[in-house]
Structure 1
Amino acid sequence: MYSATLTLDPAFVVGPVRRRTFGSFVEHLGRCVYTGIHDPDHPTADADGFRGDVLDLTRELGVTTVRYPGGNFVSGYRWEDGVGPVGERPTRLDLAWHSSDPNLVGVDEFMRWADKADVEPMMAVNLGTRGVQEALDLLEYCNVPGGSAWSDRRRANGVEEPYRIKMWCLGNEMDGPWQIGHKTAHEYGRLAAETARAMRLMDPGLELVVCGSSSSDMPTFGEWERVVLTETYEHVDHVSAHAYYWEEDGDLASFLASAVDMDHFVESVAATADAVRAAGKHEKRIHISFDEWNVWYQKRAESRPPSGDDWPVAPVLLEDRYNVADAVVVGNLLISLLRHTDRVHAASLAQLVNVIAPIMTEPGGRSWRQTTFHPFALTARHAAGDVLRVAVESPAEETARFGDVPVLDAVATHDPGTGDVVVFAVNRSTTTPVDLDVDLRGFPGLRLLDARTLSNPDHTWQATADDATSVGPVPNTSAKVADDRARAELPPVSWSVLRLGRA
């Protein structure tokens, strides 16, 4: 058994726990919208056609923001096709995913769903095939009270009050050659700057997200951020980051260390943004919206879109079935996001339903929680107050991709109001348990409120509609607190949460 130590101190604060860290993503891709959140024939569907079981699971997941409507989809999207009488809306080809969209769900429907789910909407505009004017039209439709063409169109469509959407994405992954309307950094930077400036003329209080790199493996990574931010710095608030992780060739050790790459991504983007800030003598600081992240098995058959003359509505796409190891990685990626809360001000797990998602559904039938649902839900529920800078002493194991990596990774939060401390920890070893020792002398008198661990001797176990409950977070009976120290045994390939307080 390995031994590892965490030392916590209330003075070592990284920053506040940001509720927007627990965002998600709904794209018109595969079955995320149709038979995902929207399924009028489902027994739980409400008057608007939204599945009640999915709404319940969304609230249980603890999602705070939802990015919409894409993703790659947005770079060819004509938003006005999705407003007005449903029977008059056109069906359009979606070139991004070789599918058809009947536009049964558009801006107004999504906003009604967001209200029911109690989430903040994060709207994306099309800067692939469209530009400044179309972005302004959508903003006018959503945020202007009335007295103009598009705001009055919204009111005529039955929505009297403006939506007042605050957070907007200026396009999506425009550095990617796969993107419709792909641009160079200079081309995109100029367009994003002009779009942002015009949008602020209409609504000065917006928070705007400019496209950063869609992967740290992109050949333009770093230079893309530098050029784009040089053009847009004074007009935007956040730069986006996108990252997906997947197990390759059975290299479980490197896969479990995926958060090392996320740490590198965040720290590199933050350094580049700060360099632009210094060079331009800007006062404000640009933060990061990590608005696409997850585990995604891109080489699997379900990630291949249709082809030829086949343009189906809501095909089965990207419906990865997640196992225990995937859930441990998702929990570790959340640890990385939290420990960078000084720079990561928003994040979106991609996606919410069916498409590389924590929630799965059958059309007209059952819904269930994937393994990845649990670390997200428990972190969203229990992380509160301030994120603490944790001192970690841990043995390391060698990985093919990242070299020697500490087997223990962890972060902690402290709620000054209640005094509660919560530790989130992963054991990334593939074979060896960890005896965890947490030094709590900075928080005298705490006792153990709860300890839960997600693991399984078979790390490939997957939840299904028939069995989604056999494996999940269970009480960790080894956890104890005595003499201002907490101890717990963490199995290999595991994610754990320890809740400590005085109540």
Structure 2
Amino acid sequence: MDPAKLTLDPAFEVGPVERRLFGSFVEHMGRCVYTGVFEPGHESADDDGLRRDVIELAREMGVTAVRYPGGNFVSNYEWEDGVGPASERPTRLDLAWRQIETNAFGLGEFMSWAGEVGVEPVMAVNLGTRGVREARDLLEYANYPGGTRWSDLRVKHGVREPYGIRVWCLGNEMDGPWQIGGKTAEEYGRLALETAKAMRRVDPDIELVACGSSNPRMPTFGSWEATVLEHCYHEVDYISTHAYYDAVAGDRASYLASAVEMERQIEDVIATADHVAAKLGSRKRLKVSFDEWNVWSQSLFGGESGLDWAHAPRIIEEEYDVAAAAVVGSLLITLLNHADRVGLACQAQLANVIAPIRTEPGGPAWRQTIFHPFALTAANARGRVLRAQVTAPSMPTEKYGEVPVLAAAATLDEGELSVFAVNRGETSLPLAVDLRGLPRAGTISHVTVADADPAARNTEREPRRVEPRAVQGATIDGDRLNAVLPPLSFNVVKAS
């Protein structure tokens, strides 16, 4: 294959690396919570029932923020069910996923878990079956110091200091016909405005995320964001967007090029938000919260109506291959390349359900292939994101036409350059990085996530089948860095 070229210049940058880009998502869905992050009686569980093996893997992965408790789950959730003594909590029917919810894990357990992992909590409120009052009450319980009904209840539950949760999502996917208590754009826009006003009166320092359209294939996409933001633009800080990329619905080349769709989606949402700003005469610029994204063979899922009522059933527990790792790597690259406007991103979900971490009840936890590009990017993306000018051979796709085989981003931090690169092609790709104006590099390293078999997976029996490995041969020749990217691979090349 002809070589690819990446041109970088320190004078041209996207913006600082936003640490919230490396977020994840914990929803009461399938086994994400129960036998995922929480399993009393497991040999690794602490006194609160939190699985230490999952805590350690989440730390290793570099997760910085976690959205909770949903997702579709939140639109039928009564937060009061998940606080106070566990023995007194009610068991409920979760209408989102047809599950029996014991509420053994709730706000207090989540905040303990978040503290152990060292992540920032991102809390969603129920604007499906509930509204302004319940959102205000939850915020008072979580963030107000004391001396009021709900803050004193928190103290009574053994938590004297406020949780101080900063980021709050105003509902979830409210234009989805699957959503319990779904709304029209007008209905939701008004509700989001009034909820935001009330919550800011309780705590003016919070950051609020308004729901964008559920995904770019919705007939409401674009018009939903415009209508909603015309109501609540001045009261919110982010507009959310969601997307999942299907490995089996369509041609393989389009799947490998999924980041093209993510890029278009981000730019469409930004354009819509900025249009509303212009219409309102506002100089404020909203950021995008891409708070659900991942690879998911969604076309194979029959929907929640086909599920039987059960507690913590095994649903959507995908085993990811090397190709999925390359796609996830390219999606992370896209988020980095839009770090000036994407302020928060959450890969969905953390454990078991379309997840980088898999567990077995009473058994081990292990890293799926998609764990590794996330961990490598979170660990090495520091400082500023540089504008990456890519020149590369192209490959044909049914959905997007000709797409470059190379996806790339770069960060610069105190003289250390990190290049993140995905080779979407089936053969090795020589890469030349033009380092004009960058500090002279003395050392270079190259790590890849790849395998001779693109269908290779990590499983309980073979948990380390696919791991990052060092690649020899990368060189610096004057102002040019040279490396060879293996077929269908995610790579980090560092020079300092």
When normalised by structure 1's length, the TM-score is 0.97
- Counterpart residue identity of residue 314, structure 2: V
Q: Residue 347 of structure 1: which of 345, 348, 351 is its match?
A: 345
Q: Describe the superposition over 1:344-387 as per-residue Cα deviations: whole angstroms up to 9, x where unpaired.
A: 00100000000110000000111100000000000000000000
Q: Secondary structure at the match of 2:481?
A: strand
Residue 7 of structure 2 is aligned to residue 7 of structure 1: yes
Residue 70 of structure 2 is aligned to residue 70 of structure 1: yes
- 8 Å Cα contact 1:242-1:292 kept in structure 2: yes
Match of 2:236 in 1: 236
Question: How far apart are residue 482 of structure 1 and its match?
Answer: 2.1
Residue 493 of structure 2 is aligned to residue 495 of structure 1: no
Q: Residue 472 of structure 1: which of 458, 467, 471 is its match?
A: 467
Residue 447 of structure 2 is aligned to residue 449 of structure 1: no
Distance in 1 between residues matched to 2:192 and 2:355, nearest whole Å: 30
Match of 1:400 in 2: 398
- Counterpart residue identity of residue 428, structure 1: R
Distance in 2 between residues matched to 1:259 and 1:458, nearest whole Å: 22
Question: How far apart are residue 454 of structure 1 and its match?
Answer: 1.3
Question: How far apart are residue 472 of structure 1 and its match?
Answer: 1.8
Match of 2:265 in 1: 265
Identity of aligned residues (%): 59
Question: How far apart are residue 305 of structure 1 and its match?
Answer: 4.1
Number of equivalenced pairs: 496
Q: Residue 310 of structure 2: which of 287, 309, 312 is its match?
A: 312
Q: Secondary structure at the match of 1:44?
A: coil
- Counterpart residue identity of residue 67, structure 2: R
Residue 182 of structure 2 is aligned to residue 186 of structure 1: no
Q: Residue 432 of structure 2: which of 434, 437, 441 is its match?
A: 437
Q: Describe the superposition over 1:304-359 as per-residue Cα deviations: whole angstroms up to 9, x where unpaired.
A: 54757x42110001111100000100000000000000110010000000011000
Listed as ranges, the matches of 1:278-427 within 5 Å are 278-300=278-300, 304-305=303-304, 307=306, 310-415=308-413, 418-427=414-423
Match of 2:86 in 1: 86
Stretches of structure 1 lacking an aligned partner (at least 5 in a row): none
- Counterpart residue identity of residue 421, structure 1: L
Distance in 2 between residues matched to 1:163 and 1:444, nearest whole Å: 43
Distance in 2 between residues matched to 1:370 and 1:304, nearest whole Å: 24
Question: How far apart are residue 250 of structure 1 and its match?
Answer: 6.2
Question: How far apart are residue 299 of structure 1 and its match?
Answer: 3.0
- 8 Å Cα contact 1:2-1:432 kept in structure 2: no
Report the more deviating stretch, 486-495 or 273-282. 486-495
Q: Where do 4+ consecutive residues of structure 1 move more than 6 Å? A: none
Match of 1:50 in 2: 50
Distance in 2 between residues matched to 1:250 and 1:281, nearest whole Å: 42
Distance in 2 between residues matched to 1:7 and 1:13, nearest whole Å: 12
Q: Secondary structure at the match of 1:219?
A: coil
- 8 Å Cα contact 2:415-2:439 kept in structure 1: no
Distance in 1 between residues matched to 2:397 and 2:42, nearest whole Å: 46
Q: Secondary structure at the match of 1:468?
A: coil
Alignment root-mean-square deviation, CA = 1.2
Distance in 2 between residues matched to 1:95 and 1:447, nearest whole Å: 58
- 8 Å Cα contact 1:448-1:498 kept in structure 2: no
Q: Describe the superposition over 1:228-266 as per-residue Cα deviations: whole angstroms up to 9, x where unpaired.
A: 010010000000010000123562111010000000000
When normalised by structure 2's length, the TM-score is 0.98
Distance in 2 between residues matched to 1:300 and 1:41, nearest whole Å: 34
- 8 Å Cα contact 1:2-1:433 kept in structure 2: no
